Structures are given as structure tokens and as C-alpha cells.
Amino acid sequence: MEHEQPPTVHDHAAPNDHAAPSHGHGHGHGHGHGHDEPGSARRRPARWARISHALTPHSHDTVDRIDTALRTSTLGLRTVAWSFAVLAVTAVGQLAVVAVSGSVALLGDTIHNAADALTAVPLAAAFWLGRRPASRRYTYGLGRAEDLAGVVVVLVIGTSAVLAGYQAIHRLLHPQPITHLWVVAAAGLLGFAGNEAVARLRIGVGRRIGSAALVADGVHARTDGFTSLAVLAGAIGVALGFPVADPLIGLAIAVMILLVARDAARDVLRRLMDAVDPAAVALAQRAAAAVPGVRTTDQLRMRWIGHELHAELAAGVDPELTVEQAHRLAHDVEHALVHAVPRLTNAVVHVEPAALAAAAHNTLAHHR
């Protein structure tokens, strides 16, 4: 795979490419502005902020976009590593109890937790690939690997539901005695604690960096925690003289996992189909329209690439503007979008005369 970095996408064409202000100016400048941490300029007086903005080197090149991706990917990798460690320790502890008690239910939960730990492999691979710079073959980078990892996670969730259901039905048809019930119950609590800790970590970080795959895996870990509680409930039921309680609860948990698999599959497939939150689209539209000098906004498109949001927009402006003025206005729109929309790291702004933009919009509306 090539590793050569493509030229910075400023679209600063030669003068003959901008013979008239009606020509569009594409602005695909990546920004390193964090959305979770308030910038220092926001705490300063407006006049000083403008002076600082003019004098300080800005993130108008691919380097800053890569820097942002590295920070979020590093956080994702660290989260996956901690998740793997917690689930591995949980599975090893449960396996020791299985060796003492001979509990088939706990053995199933142990295998399940071990499999969940292994979901860290595709997630880690996705975050690692997302750190690689764009190349001439993969001009947008490899952020889409996260979506593929999300598909793997959904398949693991579905498979877990099938296995849990099979084990529950098998135990209904072929009951097996369990010894050391209180030790088994403690191991069930250990499984719940480990999965809940992993769920909180994955979901929190996944939402922070915008990774659908990491959130899906976190939801999966949370449902697995309830699966571990089923072991506890089954042990209590057996201790009270109801041996059928364990497989019945296990069957109910299998149905719950299937419902979670459905929701996770919906989220991951939407991401694969370039779905975005309509509220984010409306926010971007308002932010662009609020920029002084923008008369119309049209053809707004947004999509996720890994855990980074990208946007394209056509802005209608005064036809009398010079090329330089239109170029600066496009920068203003770009800045407004990046600062207004969470996790938006790249905006391509096409500038066109307002009259042309309105005519194109009317023509499109007429054809629809």
C-alpha cells in the first residue's frame, strides 16, 4: 500500500481557472480544532481573538487533520487494550471456577466473555488502520475500516445470541447438576462487573470520538453483563429447588441479545450507508447561512469516514465579489461549519453567484 501523502487540498488553482467570480472555490482544509475542549481564543476578547486568528498559523492543511485522527485513534486503541485486559482477566477467573464447579452455564458465559475479548482484534485493527495517512490509492485514508469492524462486532453479537439460546434449550432438554453454587454465583457477579466496566469505557469513548463500532461493542458488553447475571440468577434458582430457572433465564437473555444485535446492526448499517443525524445537517445549514455575505446555502452533503464527519456545501454569494473576497468568504463558511458541528473535521465549500445558485435550486425543485 502506498504511503505517499497527497498534496494539501486547497484547490488554489491558477488565475486562469478563476476568470470570473462565478467559479466555485473548493475548500477542503482539515482542521485541528477540538470540539470537546474549548479553545483559548473563546476566552479572549473578540478583538484580540481576531488579531490572534490573523497572526497565528492555522490548520489549513492535511497535517492537522492527520493529527486529529491520531489523537482519536490513539484513544480508541487505548480503550480497546483496556477492554481486552479486563475481559481476559474476567474470563480467566471464571474458568478457574468452572474447573472447580463443573458448571456448564458458567462455562458458556466464560467462553462468551473470551469471545468478547477477541472482538478487540478487529477494533484495534480498525483504529490502527485509521492512523495511517491518506495515499494516492486511498485518498480519504482508511477510516472506513471502523465500519467494517462494526460489522464484525454485530456478527459476534448475533452469534452470541444463537449460542446462548442453544445452550439454554439444551439445558432445558438435558438438565445437569451444578456444585459449589455460591462460588458459581460469585463468578457470575465477576462476569457482570467486568462487562459493565468495559461497557462504560467503550460507550463513553465511542460517543466521544464518534466511533459507531466502539459504541456497538460497548452495548454488546453491557448485554453480556446481564448474561453473567443470568448465571447468578440460575444458581439462586437451583439453590431454592428450581433447577429449571437457569435455562429459562438463559433463554430470555438470548432474546435480549438478539434485540441488541438488531439495534447495533441498524446503527452500523446506517453508517455504512452514509447516514448522518438530521439535526447535524440542520445545524450545519444554519451555521453556514449565518455567515455574513452568504445569501443562499444549497447541496449540503455530510458523511462519516471512520469517526470523523465530512461536509460539502454550495454557498451563494454576491456576484460582484472578487475571487479573493469569495475565497475568504469560503474560509469563513468552513470555519463556521467546523466550529458549529461536533466532530466535523473537514468541509469543502463551493462558492457560486447567488443568482446562479437560486436558479439551480429552482430547476432542481421543478424536476423533483
Same domain assignment for residues 262 and 309: no
Instruction: Estimate the share of the chain in helix, then strand, then coil, as percent rounded to the nearest 5.
Output: 65, 10, 25
Please say whether the beta carbons of 320 and 356 come within 8 A: no
Same domain assignment for residues 177 and 196: yes
Same domain assignment for residues 210 and 235: yes
Same domain assignment for residues 110 and 191: yes
| Grid cell listed for 79 | 480503550
Q: SS3 of 122, please?
A: helix
pLDDT exceeds cutoff 60 at 301: yes
pLDDT exceeds cutoff 60 at 361: no
CATH number at residue 193: 1.20.1510.10
Measured at the CA of 67, the angle between CA 347 and CA 33, to 5 degrees, comes to 50
Which of 207, 242, 272 is the last residue in one of the domains?
272
CA gap 288, 58 in Å, rounded? 20
Which of 237, 272, 307 is the last residue in one of the domains?
272
| 286-290: average pLDDT | 95
Same domain assignment for residues 225 and 113: yes
pLDDT of residue 357: 53
Domain presence at residue 12: no
Same domain assignment for residues 184 and 289: no
Number of domains in the chain: 2
Same domain assignment for residues 262 and 301: no
Same domain assignment for residues 120 and 177: yes
Same domain assignment for residues 282 and 313: yes
Which of 213, 243, 272 is the last residue in one of the domains?
272
Domain presence at residue 7: no
Same domain assignment for residues 224 and 104: yes
CATH number at residue 285: 3.30.70.1350
Same domain assignment for residues 156 and 212: yes
Please say whether the beta carbons of 76 and 211 come within 8 A: yes
Domain presence at residue 126: yes
CA gap 297, 157 in Å, rounded? 42
Hey, how many other C-beta atoms are within 10 angstroms of the C-beta on 271?
24
Domain presence at residue 18: no
Of the listed ranges 47-61, 200-214, 287-301, 336-350, the one predicted with least confidence: 47-61
pLDDT exceeds cutoff 50 at 39: no
Provide the pLDDT confidence category of residue 38 given band limits of 50, 70 and 90: very low
Tally the C-alpha atoms within 13 A of residue 299's C-alpha that lie toward its C-beta. 17
Q: Pick from 188, 197, 42: which is nearest to 103 by CA?
A: 188
Q: In what order do the strands lie in the sheet with 29-30?
A: 29-30, 344-353, 308-317, 296-305
Q: SS3 of 302, please?
A: strand
CA gap 169, 172 in Å, rounded? 5
Domain residues for the domain of 315 are 276-367
pLDDT exceeds cutoff 60 at 259: yes
Percentage above 90 pLDDT, the chain: 25
Q: What is the pLDDT of residues 119-129, one digit of tens each?
A: 788 888 888 88
| Grid cell listed for 333 | 463558511
Backbone angles phi and psi of 39, in degrees to 5: -75, 160
Q: What is the pLDDT of residues 156-215, one digit of tens each?
A: 878 877 887 887 788 788 887 777 888 888 998 999 999 999 999 989 988 888 787 788
0.75 exceeded by pTM: no
pLDDT of residue 41: 37
For 97, left (φ over 0), alpha (ψ -120 to 50), or beta?
Answer: alpha
Same domain assignment for residues 117 and 203: yes
| 280-293: average pLDDT | 94
Q: Which amino acid is at 147?
A: D
Provide the pLDDT confidence category of residue 328 given band limits of 50, 70 and 90: very high
Tally the C-alpha atoms within 13 A of residue 105's C-alpha that lie toward its C-beta. 40
Tally the C-alpha atoms within 13 A of residue 120's C-alpha that lie toward its C-beta. 20
